[in-house]
Structure 1
């Protein structure tokens, strides 16, 4: 991708998964690494999305957009599925802008325990 940017590409479009599979984001680590490496370049997840939750996840990772067709075209109700994707993209973008908490490997309650019974 570095070479693409060097020769003037203004947008990078990595796959979520192979086109038309609906498998979602197959390489979360790779997609996160791309976002971290190219913070100023618009990134669009292209191909492989099958569910609105896949689109929300891409947006939550800081991607700028998703491009899809098969997930809507092959849905039982394409109009409803398109609406679901629209809402998911909006929700994912809002979540990314809200500075979500970092995931933790261990439990760490955020509710104070002072003054509460411990059973």
Structure 2
């Protein structure tokens, strides 16, 4: 496996890499759909968009872009690879339909790395379970969920 960073579509205008080798390329990139299409056309099997700049711990900065990437490539393995700072960021990525998260700095820089690693494990499990559970859709207005059948209607 070879991991490489691509954060500009300019890289793809040149014959920078050839995926026609025995190696498997896992490109670290942005959520740019054009770049993603070109990487897949070049033979990449997995895409690894950032959540935020690497090491920033800011979480998923562009939810719309990440959601669009997942919708556009439903069968491509997607891994959020950068910017995740706390376990809830990882859970959110899995809830969006991402297949995995790559965590390093958040655990390495934690006050107690072992506890933080466990927290991430639990968050990833929670994110997967939430996605499988088919969560309710967000709504812009209040919609009561308490059934009214069988209740007295006093006038």
Check whether TM > 0.5: yes
1:98 to partner: Cα distance: 1.1
Partner of 1:53: 88
1:108 to partner: Cα distance: 0.5
Q: Mark the runs of 5 or more structure 1 residues left unpaired by the alignment.
A: none
Distance 1:116 1:13, change over 3 A: farther
Tell me which protein shows more strand as a share of its residues: 2
Aligned match for 1:85, one of 114, 120, 124: 120
1:105 to partner: Cα distance: 0.5
Q: Which has the higher contact order (CA 8 A, sep 6+)?
A: 1
Partner of 1:43: 78
Q: Which has the larger radius of gyration?
A: 2
- With the length of structure 1 as denominator, give the TM-score of the two structures: 0.95
- With the length of structure 2 as denominator, give the TM-score of the two structures: 0.73
Distance 1:51 1:117, change over 3 A: farther
Partner of 1:75: 110
How many residues matched?
A: 118
1:113 to partner: Cα distance: 2.9
Partner of 2:4: none
1:117 to partner: Cα distance: 7.1
1:68 to partner: Cα distance: 1.3
Provide the C-alpha distance between the structure 1 equivalents of 2:152 and 2:84, rounded to a whole number of angstroms: 45
Q: Mark the runs of 5 or more structure 2 residues left unpaired by the alignment.
A: 1-35
